[in-house]
Structure 1
Amino acid sequence: MTDDATVNAGDIARLAGVGRAAVSNWRRRYDDFPRPIGGTSSSPLFSLREVERWLRRNGKVYDVPLADRVWQGLRTHADDLRLGETVAWAGAFLLYLRRDPSGWRRLQRRADLTARLPAAVEAACPDLPGGPGDPIDDAALVRSLASLAAEKGHVEAFEYLCERYAETHSRRLSVTRAELAELMVRLVAPEGGTVFDPACGIGTLLLAADRHAPGKLRLIGQEIGTSAARITAVRLLLREVPARVVAGDSLRADGFAGERADAVICDPPFNERAWGYEELIGDPRWEYGLPPRGESELAWVQHCLAHVRPGGLVAVLMPGTAAGRRAGKRIRANLLRAGALRMVATVQPGGPDLWLLRRPDVGERPPSQILIADPGRDLDVLERAWAAYREDPEGVRPPNGCRAVRIIDLLDDEVDLSPARHRPAYAGFDLAAAFATARDRFREVSAALAAGVPDIDVLTERADLPATTVGELAKAGLVTIHHAPFRLIVDRGDVPVLTAEDVAFGTPPSGRTFRGAGLVTVEPDDVVTSYVTGEVTARVITEGGAVLGPQLSLYRVDRKQLDPHFLAGFLRFAGHLNPPRGHSGSSRLDARRARIPRLPLAEQQAYGRAFRQLVFLEDTLRETAALGEELIRLGFDGLSVGLLRPRN
């Protein structure tokens, strides 16, 4: 692989597991720290190999993983403006390896590898938009890519590159949040048939559709950027998903004209004035009205409806302002009258909103109500509300946070569908029942607070206890320390992942990843430390089976000599005294130097019970606060609209 791979200060910090400030300090303190070989004065670039040699020379031994070497090689091979093309070609090469392994075995030994490789890749990948693109002419980098595929598998190797690409270009790439993508798919995607994304980006929504019904869906997509379209195609084809992706402007140059899918999912670009207004004035897709020049999102909505069969569903993300802007009221009114628009829901504060639509069947009677929802953080509410609405649009009683609004009441001078305007979104019985449940639960949980205070003696003088360190306990075999893999995908897969937030808030494992080498499986009575929003937490795990998430550390104790709750309490205290100084919002606690009292097991267990009660008290206080907020909100809403009444 090329010796010219470069890294910036942030890359060095991430690879060495330190903060950026530490890298800046090294540059000031050590005269032999590598000199920049490129970049700018504010963002210098360093030779990866020189940095690695310096780390070893100064006792900071850290072997850069192969995946990181490949990524840095790709970044060095192309400037940032062409990085997407390079990643796309790397994906095409991985697809070639998957499809023609014997051809690669013959070709890799040849001295003229880089001269012959482009034709081989192109022949193996005829289904990529515009072909595989400009090849990588670095034979060492190409061979490293092949080694990465052998190490991780073709799919995981490319997913790693895509993840790093999305991180690097986070300001240029718009990637739909994973949980939102999964929700959109669950709401509208069928168990079989065709799903279309006309603004597919790098494939987030289409991949979510494949996870929804693996191998049962035909996936089609279009993306204006050729490199992004290629990346999407590779991600799908490496999984052997029946897929077709084209490059081009969906509004100006529809790559699937006349084709109708069973469902459409879309996260289109927002606020684009140059979307083709003048040249598309007479376009037949505008069944509900010509989109105003400043309402490109309403062009996307109608484009999606034009590509779904009668009775098919559309899920499209929209800016919050699209629900109430005056310029778009005529189209919103027409969508309502026709029964095409079925739900408008806010999916995060400040937007975007999620619009769910259904292409009407010929002669079908439109519903008299639309769902309008503002569920807060509980997006699962939308699934329950949508299922109830589809079963009975006229008599639906949606859950709290959602409201069935008569369409005739919305057809006024504004046709404002903004969810915030239509709160409180409760049916009378639902609000009353929710208030009663929240009140009773608040009383029950708050009553448990007093019982959660541990019985602790107050001393007049500090008790000095003989102590050791976690490092010494580890050397003696009383504690085994494990860390999660540095890079771990936590938003897809079938293996549950314990995240830092789960540890901090005492919730079940919320992440997902794929099976593979290096995963650390959590067992009951393991102590796991996390560092979230400036707070160190050390928690004893009660249920095993999940794997350790990024930036977490696990301490497995010999129960015959060490109580886990005792250890967790003192680890937390050590973290408060010396919090981690990570380069991100979540970092590991280095606890080897944490001081742990030397006590007999029986005394450890007494401390452990006290620490456990404090953790219970903390969790109960958090739950009480959340219940109190909901109780207050329900109370104000119910009293204000006449669904609750104070007692005399």
Structure 2
Amino acid sequence: MDGDGRPEMTDDEATVTAADIARIAGVGRAAVSNWRRRYADFPEPVGGTASSPTFSLKEIEEWLRLQGKVQALPLRERAWQQIRAATDDLRLGEAVAEAAELLCGKGTPRLVPQQAVELLKEYREQSGEEAVRFLLDRYAEVHSRRLAETPPEVAEFMARLAGPGVRTVLDPACGLGILLSAMKGVEHAYGQEIEEALARIAKIRLDLTGIPGEVRAGDSLRDDAWPDLLVDAVVCHPPFNERNWGYDELVHSPRWEYGLPPKTESELAWVQHALSHLVPGGLALLLLPAVVAARRSGRRIRSNLLRRGALQAVIGLSAKTVGGTGLPVHIWILRKPADDGPPPSRVLMAEAEPGTFDEVIEVWREFQADREREIDRPGLCRTVPVIELVDDAVDVTPGRYVGAQEVSASDFPAIRERLLRGLKRTIELIPEAVPGGGRTMPLVTVSELERIGALEMVQAGRFEIDGTGQPVITDQDLLSGSRPRGQTSPEGRIRLRPGDVVVAVRGGELAARVIRESGLLLGPRLTLLRPDPAHLDADFLAGFLQATAAVAGTPSGIGRFDPRRSQVPRLPLEEQRRYGEAFRRIAEFGDQLREIEQAAHRALVSIALGFVTGTLTPPPGRGSA
């Protein structure tokens, strides 16, 4: 036993699950199941159940090394498995919080084995604060299905919408602290989280960011830890569609200034809770499911929020932008009414994606300066009269009010000319292929290519894009085919080289791109494949990975896509280059088709508008009998 009377755990005693083994080896769980069936020398379970066995970490590490699947268990993985094995899933958050606090020089070991503490301290000496961030990010990864995380880029967007003048901020459902830690520059941050372990983790994240603050544990709606607190801003990503939020106990709460939230409208309870903590003129920003904007049961509260000038903006985000739930979401921006004039007669409605975040922030600033200003930027935003919103439905879904991008009839000649040039280029790019006779090509896994040195593979963990430093490519950039727009500090990040292949999987979609330019950093949750050009062609590799995803067929199949298990044909380098050139032209063809689709839509709108207004007419002599 150690000095605190806890049984000391050694590497010989530490155990791992199949999911842990998959994470250590960088493969899917199915690969571990295959190893157990195919290899007679695969270690036998030492515990667990038939459906969820556990294995000796020492035996697994030795087997993986002998098989060439890992060279050595990294220091951080060894420490993590010690922590992971010291407790069950229900208390893992406590162990992670304790370990992170110990690395920050706080607290005493209770759950974390002393050997794990020593390993973590050694890792911290090597990598500094990255050791603490690793623990927080790995915990979030292990419990990604249970924890509703705010994507870092969305958290930063909400923080920028809150404005630079915020001195105090509250997040009453702060989870892992991602939203609070995005509020850089505030004088003090306050948080509350129903799970004590998560509250501790959120506090550690605040400390890492350098934001002074305090996070308390408890149920914010039932037992507010900050009952008398008034702040400049509230940011919140509350639980979605929660039924047991306290309706029966909280019927007479003074917070329901805009109406008692129905039992099925927990989100409107969070909206009013946020407003109750604001100073007059303060702002609340909440990330809510899109259905809250139109559910019939919430129309009375929405109407009151609009009539009294509390609801000032609704910004729509696609399901792809947020991920996780697979649902579209909205950012509601609310202002605590102040004695500074009558309520505004307009509400800002906007549709945003990472590429337009800056533009939407600029428009929001304009609207804040003059809340009666008429703004209409088709395809992006519009200020809608409140009287237009408070009808029978009181639907505040932005998509109903933000029109398509404006096109005039006078633009048609130029649009038509560009469309013709684009169609000519499209014809030139149509790929060519000849019958192949249905031959079966020998296949090799990416894992095997890595083992023989034909490529290197690195999987980026979770981290926050801080908006400073060098350009970083994200999954959003890859899936949309756009150029990287974000920036982050290069410290501890992976620098990309021309010829690298980057793979993203998100929301049932997969994208693989060959990097052509220098100076980019690998974004969070992306996979880097760095082929040796003497053995493997980059375009060939990216093309077949994309084709593998197409064969997966369904979003769930793609969601389980594991690059290491993916197979590519085993071909001579010259044959690879022939396929690679074809795949490169296919990618160019796809990009060109997307451009043509946009140009064709603009041409249709422009000519139809011209016919309706009389500024354009059909050519003479056509259509007559």
Aligned counterpart, 1:71: 80
Aligned counterpart, 1:419: 398
Check the 8 A contact 2:288/2:332 in 1, yes or no: yes
1:635 shift after superposition? 7.3
Following superposition of structure 1 onto structure 2, how do residues 547-626 of structure 1 map, counting pairs within 5 Å?
A: 547-548=521-522, 550-555=526-531, 567-571=537-541, 584-585=560-561, 587=563, 594-597=571-574, 615-625=587-597
Aligned counterpart, 2:40: 31
Given residue 418 of structure 1, which amino acid in structure 2 is its aligned partner? Answer: T
Residue 492 in 1 paired to residue 468 in 2?
no
- What CA deviation, in whole Å up to 9, does each residue of 1:332-369 have, x standing for no partner? 22211111101123322543222111112214211111
Tell me, in whole angstroms, the C-alpha distance in 2 between the residues paired with 1:253 and 1:237. 25
Match of 1:8 among 17, 34, 43: 17
Following superposition of structure 1 onto structure 2, how do residues 139-154 of structure 1 map, counting pairs within 5 Å?
A: 139-154=114-129
1:283 shift after superposition? 3.0
SS at match of 2:376: coil
- What CA deviation, in whole Å up to 9, does each residue of 1:452-477 have, x standing for no partner? 469x999999xxxxxxxx9xx99xxx
Given residue 65 of structure 2, which amino acid in structure 1 is its aligned partner? Answer: R
1:200 shift after superposition? 0.6
Check the 8 A contact 2:137/2:463 in 1, yes or no: no
Check the 8 A contact 2:471/2:521 in 1, yes or no: yes
1:65 shift after superposition? 1.2
- What CA deviation, in whole Å up to 9, does each residue of 1:129-151 have, x standing for no partner? xxx8x723521111112112222
- What CA deviation, in whole Å up to 9, does each residue of 1:575-632 have, x standing for no partner? 6899999994352578896421399xxxx9x999887655533432343345546777
1:232 shift after superposition? 0.5
Aligned counterpart, 2:149: 175
| Number of matched pairs | 578
Given residue 391 of structure 1, which amino acid in structure 2 is its aligned partner? Answer: A
Following superposition of structure 1 onto structure 2, how do residues 204-603 of structure 1 map, counting pairs within 5 Å?
A: 204-210=178-184, 213=185, 216-349=186-319, 350-375=327-352, 380=357, 382-401=360-379, 402-420=381-399, 422-423=400-401, 425-426=402-403, 430=406, 432=408, 442-452=419-429, 483=456, 485-489=458-462, 491-493=464-466, 494-498=469-473, 507-509=482-484, 514-516=489-491, 520-524=494-498, 526-528=499-501, 530=503, 539=514, 541-548=515-522, 550-555=526-531, 567-571=537-541, 584-585=560-561, 587=563, 594-597=571-574
C-alpha distance 161-292 of structure 1, shift in aligned 2 (>3 A): same
Given residue 67 of structure 1, which amino acid in structure 2 is its aligned partner? Answer: R
Gapped runs of 5+ residues in structure 2?
Answer: 1-8, 320-326, 438-445, 553-557, 619-625
TM-score for both structures, normalised by structure 2: 0.79
C-alpha distance 531-170 of structure 1, shift in aligned 2 (>3 A): closer
C-alpha distance 338-636 of structure 1, shift in aligned 2 (>3 A): farther
Check the 8 A contact 1:384/1:399 in 2, yes or no: no
RMSD: 4.3
1:316 shift after superposition? 0.8
Match of 1:157 among 131, 136, 143: 131
Tell me, in whole angstroms, the C-alpha distance in 1 between the residues paired with 2:44 and 2:579. 52
Tell me, in whole angstroms, the C-alpha distance in 2 between the residues paired with 1:268 and 1:260. 19
SS at match of 1:45: strand
Given residue 465 of structure 2, which amino acid in structure 1 is its aligned partner? Answer: R
Aligned counterpart, 1:464: none
Check the 8 A contact 2:408/2:606 in 1, yes or no: no
Residue 87 in 1 paired to residue 57 in 2?
no
Which stretch shifts more, 332-341 or 49-58?
49-58
Tell me, in whole angstroms, the C-alpha distance in 1 between the residues paired with 2:22 and 2:122. 25
Tell me, in whole angstroms, the C-alpha distance in 1 between the residues paired with 2:128 and 2:32. 33
Gapped runs of 5+ residues in structure 1?
Answer: 97-120, 123-131, 462-469, 475-479
Aligned counterpart, 1:116: none
1:230 shift after superposition? 0.7
Check the 8 A contact 1:200/1:222 in 2, yes or no: yes
TM-score for both structures, normalised by structure 1: 0.76
Tell me, in whole angstroms, the C-alpha distance in 2 between the residues paired with 1:29 and 1:543. 42
Check the 8 A contact 1:483/1:548 in 2, yes or no: no
1:449 shift after superposition? 1.9
Aligned counterpart, 1:195: 169
1:194 shift after superposition? 1.1
C-alpha distance 90-362 of structure 1, shift in aligned 2 (>3 A): same
Check the 8 A contact 1:320/1:418 in 2, yes or no: yes
C-alpha distance 568-93 of structure 1, shift in aligned 2 (>3 A): closer
